[in-house]
Amino acid sequence: MMMRILTSVAALGLTAGMAAADYNLTILHTNDFHSRFEPVSKYDSGCREGDNAEGKCFGGSARLVTAIADARARSNNSILVDGGDQFQGSLFYTYYKGKVAAEMMNKLEYDGMTVGNHEFDDGPEVLRGFMDSVGFPVLMSNADVSAEPALADVLKKSTVIERGGEKIGLIGLTPEDTHDLASPGKNITFGDPVAAVQAEVDRLTAEGVNKIIVLSHSGYVVDQKVAAETTGVDVIVGGHSNSYLSNVSDRAVGPYPTMVNDTAIVQAYAYGKFLGELNVTFDDAGNVVEASGEPLSMDATVAEDEATVARIAELGTPLEEIRTKVVAESAESINGDRAVCRIQECQMGNLVADAMLARVKDQGVTIAIANSGGIRASMESGEVTMGEVLSVLPFQNTLSTFELDGATLVAALENGVSQVEEVKGRFPQVAGLKFSWDASVAAGEGRVQDVMVADGDGYVAVDPAKTYMVVTNNYVRGGGDGYKMFAGDDKNAYDFGPDLADVLAEYMATNSPYKPYTDGRISQK
- Helices in 49-208 by DSSP H: which ranges? 61-73, 91-96, 99-108, 123-133, 178-181, 193-206
Amino acid 462 reads V
Which residues contact residue 167 at a Cβ distance below 8 angstroms, ignoring those fewer than 6 apart?
A: 160, 161, 208, 209, 211
Question: Is the pLDDT at 7 greater than 60, yes or no?
Answer: no
What is the per-residue DSSP string for 313-379? HHHHTTHHHHHT-EEEEESS-B---HHHHTTS--HHHHHHHHHHHHHHGGGT--EEEEEGGG----B
The reported pLDDT for the residue numbered 277 is: 98
> How many CB atoms within 10 Å of residue 45?
17
Whole-angstrom Cα distance, residue 130 to residue 494? 25
Q: Are 216 and 82 in contact (CB under 8 A)?
A: no
How far is it, in rounded angstroms, from Cα 271 to Cα 391? 21
C-alpha distances in Å from residue 122, one per residue of 183, 184, 308, 337, 368: 6, 8, 27, 35, 26
Specify whether the CB–CB gap between 440 and 514 falls below 8 A.
no
- Residue 16: is its pLDDT beyond 70? no
Handedness of CA 123, 125, 131, 137 (dihedral sign): positive
For 32: left if phi > 0, alpha if psi spans -120 to 50, otherwise beta; the answer is left
DSSP collapsed to 3 states, 83-116: CCCCCCCCHHHHHHCCHHHHHHHHHHCCCEEECC
Domains contained in the chain, CATH given: 23-317 (3.60.21.10), 326-524 (3.90.780.10)
At residue 315, does pLDDT exceed 60? yes
30 touches 83 (CB < 8 A) = yes
* Better-scored residue on pLDDT, 518 or 94: 518
pLDDT at 339 over 90: no
Q: Does the pLDDT of residue 3 top 80, yes or no?
A: no
Contact 183, 122 (CB under 8 A): yes
Give the confidence band of 394 by pLDDT, cuts at 50, 70, 90: confident
- Average confidence (pLDDT) over 470-475: 94
Q: Mean pLDDT, to the nearest integer, of 180-202?
A: 94
Which region, left, alpha or beta, applies to residue 456 given φ > 0 means left and ψ of -120 to 50 means alpha? Answer: left
The conformation of residue 422, written as its DSSP 8-state character, comes to G
The verdict on whether omega for the bond into residue 513 sits within 30 degrees of 0, i.e. cis, is yes
Report the range of poorest mean pLDDT among 10-14, 27-31, 81-85, 377-381.
10-14
**Close Cβ partners of 30 (under 8 Å, ≥ 6 residues apart):** 64, 82, 83, 268, 272, 274, 275, 276
Residue 15 scores a pLDDT above 50? no
pLDDT digits (tens, 9 = 90+) for 68-83: 999 999 999 999 999 9
From 288, 508, 480, select the one nearest 381 (Cα to Cα). Answer: 508
- For 201-236, what is each residue's pLDDT tens digit? 999 999 999 999 999 999 999 999 999 999 999 999
Dist. CA 206–CA 199, nearest whole Å? 11
CB 400 within 8 A of CB 463: no
Is the pLDDT at 259 greater than 50? The verdict is: yes
Q: How confident is the model at residue 4 (pLDDT cuts 50, 70, 90)?
A: very low
Distance, in Å, from the CA atom of 300 to the CA atom of 56, rounded to the nearest integer, reads 7
Whole-number Å distance between alpha carbons of 193 and 222: 8
- Which of 101, 135, 133 has its CA nearest to residue 118? 101
Q: Over range 300-308, report the average pLDDT.
A: 98
